[in-house]
Structure 1
Amino acid sequence: MTTITHEGRAEIRSAVLTDLKHAVRLARLDLKILSRNQTAMFTVLLLPLLMGWLFTRAGEGTIAGMPLEVFVLTGLPGVLPIYAVFVNLVNSFTARREELVLRRLRGGQTSAAGIFGGAVLGGAAVQLAQTALIVAWLQAVDGPRPANIPLLLLASVLGAGVFALLAAACSGLTRTTEHAQITVLPVLLVATIGAPLFTPLSAMPPQLAIPAGLIPSTPVVELVRTAVTGADFSGGAAERLTVAGQWLAALPSLGVLVVWLLVAGLAARWLFRWDPRRG
C-alpha cells in the first residue's frame, strides 16, 4: 500500500491552495467582464427571472396544493444554471480559446482545475445571488421559507457542475462567440421547456414524463422544490416531509445528476479545446 509522506501532503495542500487562489482570481475576472457586457447581463441575469415572472402570470389556480405563482417560483432556481452557468460559460470558454487566453493560462502556472474552477465559481456566484432574490420574492408572495438549505445548496452546486461541463463540451463545437448563440439553443430549449417548472412530472403523461425526467435540469428543479417546500412532488404526493424524508426523496434526482456529471465530464474531456479552431 502506497503511503504519502509529510512532504507529499504539504505539496498536495500547496497545489490545492494555488488552484483555489487562481480559481477565485479568474471568477472575479469573469464577473467583471460579465458586468461590462449588457447583452450577456440580460441573458444571464434578467432573462430567467423574466421567464419566471411570465410563467407566474400565465394563469391562476393551484398546482399540487399551492398557488401557481408559488409553485413556479419554488422550481425556478433549478433552471438558473442553464443561464448563469451554461450560456455564460459557452461564450466565455469560446472567447478565451479564440483569443489564445486559454492557451496562455494553460501554459502558465494555472492548472486545468484552476481554470475550470474559476469558471464554475463565477457562474455559481451569479446563480446563488439569483436564488437569494427568488427566495425573497417567495416571501413577498407569502411563499414558504427554504426547509432544507443544505439540500438547496447541494442542488445548486451539482447543477452548476453539470452545466459547466456541458458548456465545456459545447464550446468545443463552437467556432466563434457569434456561433455560440446558435450552439447553445438545443440544450437551452430542451433543458428549459422540458423542466417541470409549470407542471409536476406526476401530472404529465408517461410519454412526456419519462424523457422529461432524464434531462439534466429536471432533477435540479425537483431537488430545489423539495429543499424549498420540504415536500416531494416527484411521486404525486406533496405532503411535508421530515428532514430525513426530504433526503430520501432526493435520492433518485441525485442519482440522475451523478450520471449526468459522468456523461458531461466524458463529453467535456472529448470535445473541449484549448487551442483555437481552424477551418
Structure 2
Amino acid sequence: MKTDVLHAVRLARLDLTLVARNTTVMFNVLLLPLLMAWMFTQTQGGTDIAGVSGELFVLTGVPGLMLGFAVFINLVNSFTARREELVLKRLRGGQPSGPAVLGGAALGALALFLGQVVLLAIWMHRTDGVLPANVPLLLVAAALGVALFGLLAAAFSGITPNAELAQITVLPVILVMMIGAPVAYPADALPGPLGVVSNLLPVTPVVEIMRTGFLGADHISGSGEALSMAGQWVAALPSLGILVAWIAVAALLARWLFRWEPRHG
C-alpha cells in the first residue's frame, strides 16, 4: 500500500512536469477555464443572484468548468495517448500497480484543479473582498469531483480510438457541462428540461457544494441563507451522497471500458 502511494506521488510529479513543459496543455488546462470565467462574469454585471453579486456567483461556479478542462479533457487525452504509445502497458507491467498508475494521474489533476481554485479565491478576494468560508468542505468537494471526473475520463479514454480523436470524444460532455452546469444561474432557475438536466449532471453537486463552501451560505437548496460551519456540512450531505453515488457508477464504467493496451480493429 505504501509503495503504491509513493509510486502515485512520483507519477503525479511527472505529470505536472510534463504539463508545465507543454504550452498548449498549459493554456487548455489552466488558462482557458479562467478566460471562460471572465467571459461569464461579463454577462452578469450589476445583477444579484441568490443574495450575492452576479460576478461572485459565477466565479464560485467556475470550478465546474475547471473540472471539465483540468481533469476530464486532460486525463482523456493523457490516458489515450499513453495507451496508444504503450506507456500504460509498460507501467502496468512494472512496479506501479494499476490503481497507482490511475491514482498518480488523479493526484496530478487534483493539484492542477486546486491551483485553479486558489487563483479563483484570490480573484474573488481582490474583486469582492471575499475569502473562502469553509476550506475543508471545499477540499472534500474538490477531491470527490476530481475522483469522479478522473474515473469518467478513464472510461471515455476506453472508447476513444486514438489521441487525435480525443477532442471529439470529450466535446459532447464539455458542451453539456457548459450549457447545463449551474455556473451563471442556479439549476432550479434554468427553464424546463434544461433545469432537469442540470440537476442530473454529475458536476452540479460539486458546483453547489463548492459555492456553499466559498460563500458560507446555502446554495444547494438555492435559498442563499447564511449558514454556520456545521450548517454548511449538513446542507451539503445530500449532494455529497449524490457525488459518492456518481463515483460508484463512474468506477463501474471505468472498470468496464478502460483499456491498458491499444485498441485493435
TM tier relative to shorter chain: over 0.9
1:25 aligned to 2:10? yes
What amino acid sits opposite 1:238 in the alignment? G
Counterpart pick for 2:42 among 49, 57, 75 = 57
* 1:250-269 Cα shifts (integer Å, max 9, x gaps): 01211211111011101000
Unaligned runs of 5+ in 1: 1-15
Whether the 8 Å CA contact 1:201–1:234 is kept in 2: the answer is no
Whether the 8 Å CA contact 1:94–1:177 is kept in 2: the answer is yes
* 1:195-250 Cα shifts (integer Å, max 9, x gaps): 10100123223533222111111111000000001111232311110112111110
User: What is the aligned partner in structure 2 of residue 46 from structure 1?
Assistant: 31
User: What is the aligned partner in structure 1 of residue 219 from structure 2?
Assistant: 233
What amino acid sits opposite 1:121 in the alignment? L
Whether the 8 Å CA contact 1:78–1:222 is kept in 2: the answer is no
> 1:75 offset after TM fit, Å?
1.7
User: What is the aligned partner in structure 1 of residue 244 from structure 2?
Assistant: 258
User: What is the aligned partner in structure 1 of residue 147 from structure 2?
Assistant: 161
1:205 aligned to 2:191? yes
User: What is the aligned partner in structure 1 of residue 168 from structure 2?
Assistant: 182
Equivalenced residues, count: 264
User: What is the aligned partner in structure 1 of residue 125 from structure 2?
Assistant: 139
1:173 aligned to 2:155? no
Structure 1 moving runs of 4+ over 3 Å = none
What amino acid sits opposite 1:193 in the alignment? I
Whether the 8 Å CA contact 2:180–2:195 is kept in 1: the answer is no
Q: How far apart, CA to CA, are the structure 1 residues paired with 2:71 and 2:56?
A: 24
> 1:143 offset after TM fit, Å?
4.2
Q: How far apart, CA to CA, are the structure 1 residues paired with 2:4 and 2:135?
A: 27
Rg larger in 1 or in 2? 1
1:102 aligned to 2:88? yes
Provide TM-score, normalisation by structure 1. Answer: 0.91
User: What is the aligned partner in structure 2 of residue 9 from structure 1?
Assistant: none
Provide TM-score, normalisation by structure 2. Answer: 0.96
Counterpart pick for 2:62 among 66, 76, 85 = 76
1:272 aligned to 2:258? yes
What amino acid sits opposite 2:242 in the alignment? V
